């Protein structure tokens, strides 16, 4: 099994709510009221729960309030209570529970819960982080059979790799022995330090001729590699050890790293060699690549803020020759492993090498479409001809004739790494760009929520993108097929809502709506307390007026608000639908209003703070009056309990 040259190794291995804890932003009081009460629903839920009331919905809400604020130990306590009460919950709660357990050091239990989650989601959810993907070989097979490959015939018994087009030439990296007395070998692998060579490309087949040394002006005592050129041939970016003007730079550990340098072609020679302003003695930069318009430079680095061992970055090249601030390409391209050797075609596709995206082994070459908004399409493996069980990297292509080159240390080569030439005979099948979209609404009222923060997470819960809901409450994200995403909606005074969705193959649009619930309610005289907690009616058995356990839980919430606001008074109003006689409905609503009134008094509320009345069917809020045929849902809107504030 052949080894990779040290520079290659060096470069590739680089790269070696609780809303209780936040102040609610609440607008100044509306002038038509003299006084308001602010109801923190999560605090009320917690106080009610600690008094012994149980409800899956309540435990979910409290647990979520901590989970969304990354207070995972507290979230774990409430999810414990949830799962002790019921396991019949959305699979997402299994994942959140496992996530919190793992954070709390309960690894064995976390694995047990995660196993159930994977079973419920058929390994299609976030838990695949722990479970190896089993379908990637089918995708690679579908992308195979598209290339004719041959050895480029410019290779030596040493390491040859990392080519670039330079007019009608191919410039590449090599560690071959040139026979000069000054040639130095690297102590780690007894390979010569690398230099740049060039070869003329002849004929329509772009056949490389005999390789010769590239310009002496860019040659140093150390490594030169991975060059890229502007179309006019006047500017060159390349990788070199931290060495300039005879001076060798080192990091704090006395190690000489690698940097990107720029050179200008003046009077038939490369001059004015300088390092780029975002280079550093303390991290590596390498493998430059240019966008088609040459206004963006892509490169590889392990600079602070990197996601993995080495990430691909981009930086703008300004009209005056200065540079912007480097930007990480994000989680679609970069992984916790190594991404390197970018190449951007004039079709706005980025080709790159990775050891972590699903491949055939070692390093594989992948491609992703660069969208107009700067986001990236699905990352696809190029298939089994370009990729092999060994390391395959440094891909570039002429999109006009589909001829290109890549490097590999696969078996059968001449040296440690060889350059291979290819003809792409078939393009990857075009795909629509999948879109994940939805509408953000208020849970109780169904009113659309404008300017809610909407965040897209990948299956490892890394942030991919964020936006705000528009004037119609809508949001949208570009996503990839067969990937699982979470979308979270947040807004001040609301409990965040989060849902998970796997994008199916062929689905160009996937709908995922989210409803968020008010947490901080601003109420005034005349307002109903019920909507703060989603209370539509107090539950009673049919034709009865005894308080049920479900009703006691909701009344406990009202009780807590009254205890927190000692001057608040309420009028309890009970309503029925129009079915049965008006007389019967009136009597039933009177009894139910009185039962509610009496329960609150029995639990410590001063009778002076309460009034109650039954309204029967006299306050129908829709068309469902006597004689009108309505659905059960329509009738249900008239069966309601109200807790109207009469004083604060």
The 8-class DSSP code of residue 589 comes to H
Q: Which two tokens stand for residue 335?
A: 């992984």
Global pTM value: 0.51
The distance between the two most distant Cα atoms of the chain, rounded to a whole number of Å, is 112
Averages of pLDDT over runs of 10 residues in the chain (648 residues) are 38 31 28 55 86 89 80 88 92 84 81 85 48 58 91 91 94 74 43 84 92 89 89 94 71 81 93 93 94 96 91 95 95 88 95 86 88 87 90 94 94 90 88 87 89 92 92 94 89 88 80 89 87 74 65 88 93 88 88 89 94 90 87 80 90
What are 490-506's pLDDT values in tens digits? Answer: 998 888 899 988 887 66
Query: CA torsion angle for 531, 533, 537, 538 (degrees, to 10)?
Result: -150
Specify the pLDDT at position 138.
Answer: 75
The residues near 456 (Cβ < 8 Å, ≥ 6 apart) are 436, 463, 464, 465, 466, 477, 479, 485, 486, 487
Contacting residues for 421 by C-beta, under 8 A, at least 6 apart: 149, 150, 151, 152, 206, 207, 208, 403, 404, 405
pLDDT at 411: 86
Q: What is the pLDDT of residues 310-319, one digit of tens each?
A: 999 999 999 9
Closest C-alpha to 236, from 208, 201, 271: 271
């Amino acid at each position: 099994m052949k080894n990779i040259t040290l520079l290659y190794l060096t470069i590739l291995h680089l790269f070696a709510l609780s809303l209780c804890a936040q102040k609610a932003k609440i607008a100044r009081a509306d002038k038509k009221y003299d006084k308001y009460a602010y109801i923190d629903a999560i605090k009320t839920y917690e106080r009610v729960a600690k008094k012994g009331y149980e409800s899956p919905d309540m435990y979910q809400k409290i647990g979520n309030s901590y989970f969304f604020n990354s207070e995972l130990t507290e979230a774990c306590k409430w999810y414990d209570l949830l799962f002790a009460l019921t396991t019949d919950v959305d699979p997402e709660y299994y994942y959140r529970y496992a996530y919190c357990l793992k954070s709390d050091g309960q690894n064995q239990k976390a694995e047990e819960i995660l196993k159930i989650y994977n079973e419920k989601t058929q390994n299609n959810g976030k838990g695949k982080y722990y479970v190896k993907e089993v379908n990637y070989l089918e995708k690679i097979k579908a992308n195979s059979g598209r290339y004719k490959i041959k050895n480029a015939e410019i290779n030596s018994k040493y390491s040859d790799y990392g080519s670039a087009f330079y007019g009608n030439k191919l410039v590449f990296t090599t560690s071959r022995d040139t026979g000069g007395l000054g040639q130095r070998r690297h102590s780690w692998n007894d390979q010569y330090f690398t230099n740049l060579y060039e070869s003329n490309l002849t004929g329509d087949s772009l056949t490389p001729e005999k390789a010769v040394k590239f310009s002496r002006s860019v040659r140093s005592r150390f490594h030169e590699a991975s060059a890229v050129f502007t179309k006019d041939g006047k500017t060159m970016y390349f990788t070199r050890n931290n060495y300039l003007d005879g001076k060798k730079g080192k990091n704090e550990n006395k190690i000489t790293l690698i940097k990107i340098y720029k050179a200008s072609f003046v009077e038939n020679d490369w001059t004015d060699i300088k390092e780029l302003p975002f280079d550093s003695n303390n991290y590596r930069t390498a493998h430059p690549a240019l966008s088609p318009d040459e206004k963006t430079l892509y490169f590889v680095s392990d600079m602070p803020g990197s996601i993995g061992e080495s990430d691909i970055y981009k930086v703008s090249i300004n009209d005056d020759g200065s540079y912007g601030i480097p930007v990480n390409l994000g989680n679609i391209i970069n992984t916790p492993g190594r991404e390197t050797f970018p190449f951007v075609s004039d079709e706005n596709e980025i080709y790159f090498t990775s050891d972590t995206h699903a491949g055939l082994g070692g390093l594989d070459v992948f491609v992703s479409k660069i969208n107009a908004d700067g986001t990236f399409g699905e990352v696809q493996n190029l298939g089994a001809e370009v990729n092999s069980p060994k390391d395959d990297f440094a891909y570039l292509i002429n999109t006009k004739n589909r001829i290109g080159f890549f490097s590999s240390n696969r078996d059968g080569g001449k040296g440690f790494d060889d350059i291979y030439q290819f003809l792409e005979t078939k393009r990857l099948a075009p795909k629509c760009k999948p879109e994940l979209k939805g509408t953000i609404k208020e849970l109780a009222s169904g009113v659309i929520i404008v300017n809610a923060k909407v965040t897209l997470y990948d299956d490892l819960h890394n942030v991919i993108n964020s936006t705000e809901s528009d004037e119609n409450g809508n949001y949208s994200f570009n996503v990839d097929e067969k990937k699982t995403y979470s979308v979270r909606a947040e807004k001040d005074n609301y409990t965040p809502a989060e849902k998970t969705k796997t994008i199916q193959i062929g689905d160009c649009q996937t709908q995922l709506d989210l409803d968020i619930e008010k947490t901080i309610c601003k109420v005034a005289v005349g307002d109903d307390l019920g909507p703060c907690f989603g209370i539509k009616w107090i539950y009673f058995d049919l034709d009865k007026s005894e308080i049920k356990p479900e009703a006691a839980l909701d009344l406990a919430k009202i009780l807590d608000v009254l205890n927190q606001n000692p001057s608040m008074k309420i009028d309890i109003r009970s309503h029925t639908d129009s079915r049965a006689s008006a007389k019967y409905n009136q009597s039933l609503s009177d009894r139910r209003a009185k039962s509610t009134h009496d329960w609150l008094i029995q639990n410590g509320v001063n009778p002076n703070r309460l009034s109650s009345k039954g309204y029967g069917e006299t306050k129908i809020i829709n068309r469902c009056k006597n004689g009108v045929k309505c659905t059960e849902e329509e009738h249900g809107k008239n069966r309601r309990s109200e807790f109207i504030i009469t004083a604060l």
